[in-house]
Amino acid sequence: ALTTSRDVLQAVAEGQGPGQMLVTLGYAGWGAGQLEDELAENAWLSVSATPEIIFNVPPRERFDAALALLGIDPIMLAGEAGHA
């Protein structure tokens, strides 16, 4: 589960939180509705999170593992956009 709940962090501190966890911090500077619009335009590749990838795959290999769930080999991706 994804959460920003302080209650979950408190439970972790008390030894009663989830058995596995990944704590991340970050900042995103999207404007209101921008991310939703980009998702609707298929500007992002998205895949359901899997505990196997998150907890058992080394961080440097997670991107490729997530792409593999979509049947995509990263070598097939171009580094720049094109126009047909």
For residue range 17-56, list pLDDT tens digits in order.
888 888 888 888 889 999 999 999 988 888 888 899 999 9
- Helix, strand, coil content of the chain in percent (nearest 5): 40, 0, 60
Backbone angles phi, psi at 31, to 5 degrees: -80, 170
In this model, does residue 58 exceed pLDDT 90? yes
pLDDT at 1: 62
In this model, does residue 67 exceed pLDDT 90? yes
In this model, does residue 80 exceed pLDDT 80? no
Q: How far apart are CA 72 and CA 70, in angstroms?
A: 5
Q: What is the DSSP letter of 30?
A: P
Residues 6 or more apart whose Cβ sits within 8 Å of residue 69: 47, 48, 50, 53
Reported as a pLDDT band with limits 50, 70 and 90, residue 84 is: low
pLDDT at 37: 93
Residue with tokens 């956009």: 81
